[in-house]
Structure 1
Amino acid sequence: MDSALRERVTAALHAFERQAADRQDLKPAAVAIVLVDGPSILLTRRATNLRGHPGQWALPGGRADPGETFGEAARRELAEELGLTLGADAELGLLDDYATRSGYVITPVVLWAGGDLQLRPNPAEVGALYRVSLEQLDVEPRYVSIPESEAPVIQLPLLGSLVHAPTGAVLHQFREVVLRGRATRVAHLEQPVFAWR
């Protein structure tokens, strides 16, 4: 993959003043936005037999273990879910934290994987794996109102479906910061009620 693209992505993330969420009441988690040849990012559908959020769109990720950095947590989860092992040098930067209704603070970690990948999705966690091109990701979101919240629910039209927050919010911020050069915030965007549990 183009080294100039890596430099542009890294520069955009370093210029962005990320906002961390000070929520000691929530569990820390990390997700991986993985740039691969295409250029594309990796997006999954969670396995339908999972107890939490079965079948929902997701970035590889999960709860951070005690003592782990967010980058370490994202890379560990990436290896567990997709069989892709990356070193610390693959970490390009972080986006804003997103506090979920289900009790987590998610820190998005942008990673560079390049090409010639040997991906092995773990069927216990991943129902399906997709590559979303940066061109596909450069879409305008939809916002809908729900009676349960005053905040708008974000819907990102991708792959013939709608990707909701938290994944939709994280991907929208990636698009805004990295592809469009706009310091857009997404922490205020709501999740649909089915994702609250």
Structure 2
Amino acid sequence: MTVPDAPGLRRAGVVLCAVEHAGVPSVILIRRAYQGRNAGQWGLPGGRLEAGETPEAAALRELREEIGLAAGPADVLGRLDDFPATSGFVITPIVVALEHPGVPLPSPDEVHSVHHVSLRTLADDDTPRWVPQAAGRSLLQMRLGPGWSVHAPTGAMLWQFREVVLLGRPDARVADFVQPDWTRQ
């Protein structure tokens, strides 16, 4: 699903980067630096589109700038649904597979740490948890480890990757997922 352009809408591209880490198929998550926008939050490498940039180009540029991994158009497997974040950004997740990614080199101004989440963990039945909210809605928590829960927007993108790519459920949609209040920055 693509969100159409509208006045005031800002766009960003992020990379859902599949790699082999210590012999295990995984995706890369980052913990944002503890200063600036989205301080300390879990995320995918990515950021806002520059003038004339496509979501794919922005996502690949940000992957290189934020964690030092180089990917080109041939590494792109596809894209997931645009996610309309409460921050005013529409985020386009680009799925990339890197056969020989090298060692991530996080930019200290933007990234506190780089983490790998196994595809097995993402596919596990116990990973998504739905927490009841007001008006009969539920908040998704992707429980990736002890004390490690990731919410929308990043959690929604991980959930859609899980559903579509890992579990073969192509009709999984995320645009209406509840987001925690602190994501409105």
**TM-score, normalized by the shorter chain, greater than 0.5:** yes
Q: Could you tell me how far apart the structure 1 residues matched to 2:19 and 2:3 are? A: 28
Q: Could you tell me how far apart the structure 1 residues matched to 2:137 and 2:57 are? A: 32
Alignment of 1:1-197 (within 5 A): 19-24=1-6, 25-37=8-20, 38-50=24-36, 52-115=37-100, 117-139=102-124, 140-147=127-134, 151-160=137-146, 161-183=148-170, 184-197=172-185
Query: Partner amino acid for 2:55?
Result: F
Quote how far apart the aligned CAs of 1:41 are: 0.7
Quote how far apart the aligned CAs of 1:20 are: 0.5
Quote how far apart the aligned CAs of 1:116 are: 5.2
Change (3 A) 1:35 1:103: same
Q: Could you tell me how far apart the structure 2 residues matched to 1:34 and 1:68 are? A: 20
Structure 1 ranges of 4+ moved more than 3 A = none
Quote how far apart the aligned CAs of 1:145 are: 3.3
Report if the CA contact (8 A) 2:104-2:114 is conserved.
no
Change (3 A) 1:196 1:116: closer
Output the aligned Cα RMSD: 1.4
Q: Could you tell me how far apart the structure 2 residues matched to 1:153 and 1:81 are? A: 28
SS of the equivalent of 2:158 reads helix
Q: Return the TM-score normalized by structure 2.
A: 0.90
Query: Partner amino acid for 1:108?
Result: P
Unaligned residue ranges in structure 1 (runs of 5+) = 1-18
Q: Could you tell me how far apart the structure 1 residues matched to 2:101 and 2:16 are? A: 17
Identity of aligned residues (%): 44
Quote how far apart the aligned CAs of 1:192 are: 0.6
Query: How many correspondences in the alignment?
Result: 177
Q: Could you tell me how far apart the structure 2 residues matched to 1:45 and 1:64 are? A: 20
**1:20-64 alpha-carbon deviations (Å, 9 max, x no partner):** 0124232010110011112111101111112x2111100000001
Report if the CA contact (8 A) 1:43-1:131 is conserved.
yes
